């Protein structure tokens, strides 16, 4: 069946790159997959589309199928996540979420669940106070949707039930190892009892329950480090936005004498 040249889709702008004198190439996450599209003339001061195609903007698009790249002909904002725009730390978390989703998303693949997850994540980073908790929850959800959910309830080697003591995490084996199996593998990371409890809670509860959690910064940082390690193992690359986010948090703490997450 012949495809229609024009089609509509919801999308979130994951990345943008200037092209030519006034155009921009956008990387978009849509319900039907990740795609690149050309936004002609969007950098001109008179462009009507410019305000609807900002980074991380959730937008309704009309696209024309092109030979090498689809072309944005109309754009109308659905949600702009305003809290991200004026706060550098919130923006840093949004960049990290966007990079993760871009790495996991595939072209011409059903990405409806991934689009919904990114929408949730951007809302959290725009509105909520505990940004680090939201990121930990977002990462675990992303791993689950992508088929890499870690095993947190039984040892991935001997299958015994995980006991409330220091255990070990293996990125290679995708889960926790008990105290008997973990020390045999030099690549495992020790995980405290509190971090294990929180990881299991995040993995088995919805966002409304997670919002009510009150967790020490040390435990959140431990979980963050473990999930960063696991995600970089799965993706087989360093995540650039992680470096930016860590440097930004360090600079903000030094400037404000506070405990920014």
Please write the tens of the pLDDT for every residue from 148-160. Answer: 999 999 999 999 9
Residue 13 CA to residue 46 CA, distance in Å, equals: 21
Please compute the mean of the pLDDT values over residues 143-168 and round it to a whole number. Answer: 96
Q: For residue 218, is pLDDT > 60?
A: yes
Instruction: Please compute the mean of the pLDDT values over residues 46-51 and round it to a whole number.
Output: 88
Residue 111's pLDDT is: 81
pLDDT band at 1; cut points 50, 70, 90: very low
The pLDDT tens digits for 57-84 are: 999 999 999 888 999 999 999 999 999 9
What is the predicted pLDDT for the residue at 260? 58
- Under the banding of pLDDT at 50, 70 and 90, the label for residue 3 is low
What is the pLDDT at residue 258? 55
**What is the mean predicted confidence (pLDDT) over 119-130?**
97
Residues contacting residue 146 through CB under 8 Å, at least 6 positions apart? 104, 234
Nearest Cα to Cα of residue 228 among 238, 218, 214: 238
- pLDDT reading at 108 higher than 90: no
pTM: 0.91
Nearest alpha-carbon partner for 9 in 81, 78, 67: 78
The region of weakest confidence among 93-97, 155-159, 257-261 is 257-261
Closest CA to 116 of 108, 105, 107, 127: 105
Collapse the DSSP code of 13 into the 3-class scheme (helix H, G, I; strand E, B; otherwise coil) and give the result. Answer: strand
Mean pLDDT score, 220-226: 95
pLDDT in tens, 112-122: 899 999 999 99
Cα 239 to Cα 231: distance, rounded to the nearest angstrom: 9
The whole-number average pLDDT for the span 129-150 is 96
């Amino acid at each position: 069946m012949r495809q229609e040249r024009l089609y509509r889709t919801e999308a979130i702008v994951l990345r943008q790159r200037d092209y030519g004198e006034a155009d921009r190439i956008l990387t978009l996450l849509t319900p039907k997959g990740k795609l690149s599209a050309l936004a002609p003339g969007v950098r001109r001061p008179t462009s009507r589309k410019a305000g609807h195609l900002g980074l991380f903007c959730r937008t309704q698009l009309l696209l024309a199928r092109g030979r090498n790249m689809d072309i944005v002909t109309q754009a109308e904002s659905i949600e702009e996540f305003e809290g991200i725009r004026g706060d550098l730390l919130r923006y840093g978390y949004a960049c990290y979420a966007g990079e993760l989703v871009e790495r996991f998303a595939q072209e011409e693949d059903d990405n409806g669940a991934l689009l919904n997850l990114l929408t949730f994540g951007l809302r959290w980073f725009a509105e909520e106070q505990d940004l680090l908790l939201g990121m930990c929850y977002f990462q675990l959800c992303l791993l689950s949707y992508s088929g890499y959910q870690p095993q947190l309830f039984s040892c991935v080697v001997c299958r015994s039930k995980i006991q409330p003591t220091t255990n070990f995490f293996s990125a290679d084996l995708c889960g926790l190892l008990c105290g008997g199996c973990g020390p045999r593998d030099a690549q495992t990371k020790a995980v405290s009892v509190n971090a294990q409890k929180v990881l299991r809670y995040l993995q088995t509860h919805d966002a409304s329950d997670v919002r009510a959690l009150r967790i020490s910064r040390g435990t959140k940082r431990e979980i963050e480090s473990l999930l960063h390690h696991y995600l970089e193992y799965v993706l087989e690359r360093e995540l650039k936005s992680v470096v930016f986010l860590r440097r930004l948090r360090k600079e903000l703490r030094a400037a404000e004498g506070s405990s920014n997450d």
